[in-house]
Structure 1
Amino acid sequence: MSTRQLTRPGTALLRRLREPAPPQPERCAFCGSAVPVDHRHLVDTEEQALTCVCTACSLLFQQPGAAGGRYRTVPDRYLADPDHRIGDREWTALGVPVGTAFVFRNSRHDRLVLLYPGPGGATESEPDEAAWQTALGGGRLAAELRPDVEALLLRRTAADGIRCFLVPIDACYELVGRLRRCWKGFDGGQEARAELDAFFTRVAGRVRPLRTEAGS
């Protein structure tokens, strides 16, 4: 009976097998340079997708007509209108089945899109135009809203009622991703609720009243 000796892996190889590979740095989709964790994004209006970019490229695509208008830089402003209130009746008319949602305008199809987070990601619906106008369309935040790149983020709680913020669209998708990773059961569970609270605490810390933004 013949035998053969198996080569044993060295210590360095065992360490590499045990330890996950370090994540590769994200890179700008246009110039290829590495981008920091808090990098900017563009919206590809044809694909309705977010693209990572460096600061220089984000400034380039802020210019009117850059790339024929296909790519638009996501702004970094967070606004609230302290004078605007949304009642329970208006909320119900919007048809949001959960306590958090966001609305943006899709310029390619010239329509409003309403999305709300859940275990499978973002669920999409098209709000009734009359309900939109009653709840949000006549407000100053809606007048400020930039198509494709910003959204009106809504949250309804027993303590604070219904709050509305104008935020970058990538912040909304960040929230969707965070909740999807920790969602459990029908209502998300304790971890998802804690993640939601922490996210809105960060948003509240960045929000500026609309009156200070006007004309800037």
Structure 2
Amino acid sequence: MIAQGMGRGVFRAALALIAGMALMPGGAQAQTAAASPVVPPAAAQGGERFSIQIPKGWKQASRNASGPIETVSYVPDGQSAERWQDMLTIQMVKTPAGAQALPPDQLYAQSQSSYEQACDGVKLGTLQSGRSNGYPSAFWVLGCSKVKSAGYGETAFFRTIQGTAALYMAQWAWRVAPFDTTQGPPLLEDQQKEALTTLQSFQVCDPASRQHPCQPGQ
């Protein structure tokens, strides 16, 4: 069953909307992220940084920066940025001093809108919000029953952290066979566990802040 609260095509469009850009979308046992390498911290303004554990056997597929937006994607060995079934994408959207990004409910609504435009049907999960290392954080799941411009479906787990210097977003996406939205996407429990473990490792910290301290290795 899909985790409650329910790519690059649909996901990139969702991130573009979230970031304020007007773009439109185009069986083995899971390995644990706990034993994986940590991405070298990516520094935003003021020393704030993020870290995340990448699953074993995954590699960087793409990395680009455009203005205030930086994006990096990872796929398993044997897959690529063009031909993938599983993809982890991290995006950092820098915000001017004193500015705040959209609150989680609006980010959630905008990603839903992006999916609705790109997909024949959408499976929408519940927005879950809280705090992570003192920062506002949110999690949700979206399923695309079939991408209108392609013959497959997509499912994605989203996690956002609103830092002081940037909005940080991590997402794990799968390309799957088209599915009925009343049933949900065909994902194995191990696939979901691996994604959730990885997204739980996604953290933001600031070595100069007592409210958002960095742990060894961050």
TM-score (normalizing by structure 1):
0.29
Name the larger-Rg structure: 1
TM-score (normalizing by structure 2):
0.29
Q: Which has the higher helix share?
A: 1
Q: Which has the higher strand share?
A: 2
